[in-house]
Amino acid sequence: MKEISSSTFNGSKTETGSLCSPFQERRLPYEEQHEDVKIDFEVTEMPPRFTTPLFDLEILENSEAVFECTVTGSPTPQVQWFKENTCITTDGRSYLVAAEKGSHCLKIQNVGHSDSGTYRCKAVNSVGEAICKSSLVIEMNESEGAFYCCFFALWLECSIFSDFLLNSCNCEHVINY
């Protein structure tokens, strides 16, 4: 790297008769030639990106399912929740949607088997969009499963079927005839 400095040009001649240059050349030391260049800049636009994704859930019937994720982007992305291809709106009873500083949450209260399926969170801004999805599996409460299984066995009133049902569904109840 060369540093060139300017001096006042008076048009004088050197002893050899050539004109003096208004520029004088000086070599910089090695350390100054290999300095890191630092440039400060600000990102003004960035497409949405999930920094914390959704996770699949397996929960018991009649409990609460909570999907949580974190999304970044500039401008701030608009977030929508979907079950399958249907947009979810907060109804105050079953679905609650909350957002704070990039963290987004979908709560489904008192879940039933009809709530099972694929849930998606879609983030959109002027630069792009991102989608994150997960599944919700609702498991039957064990005590309810045992009750229905045993009730069904009693209803059949057949020892062959009741023995089969009791053994296959892991009922802890004993039926005496």
Write out the residue limits of the CATH 2.60.40.10 domain(s) in the chain.
46-139
User: Nearest 10 degrees: CA dihedral of 146, 149, 154, 157?
Assistant: -150
Tell me how crowded residue 118 is: count the other CB atoms within 10 A of its CB.
Answer: 13
Average pLDDT over residues 124-130: 96
What is the secondary structure of 133-163 as a DSSP string? EEEEEEEPPHHHHHHHHHHHHHHHT-HHHHH
Class of domain 46-139: mainly beta
Q: Quick one: pLDDT at residue 37?
A: 75
Are 99 and 79 contacting, i.e. CB atoms less than 8 angstroms apart? yes
What is the secondary structure of 106-140 as a DSSP string? EEE-S--GGG-EEEEEEEEETTEEEEEEEEEEEEP
Q: Which of 15-19, 109-113, 118-122 has the lowest mean pLDDT?
A: 15-19
In the chain, what's the furthest Cα-to-Cα distance? 130
Q: Quick one: pLDDT at residue 43?
A: 67
With a pLDDT cut of 90, the percent of the chain lying above it is: 50
Residue 138 scores a pLDDT above 80: yes
48-92 per-position pLDDT tens digit: 999 999 999 999 999 999 999 999 999 999 999 999 999 998 877
CA dist., res. 80 & res. 72, Å (int): 14
CA dist., res. 60 & res. 137, Å (int): 9
Are 76 and 48 contacting, i.e. CB atoms less than 8 angstroms apart? no
Q: What is the mean pLDDT of the chain?
A: 75
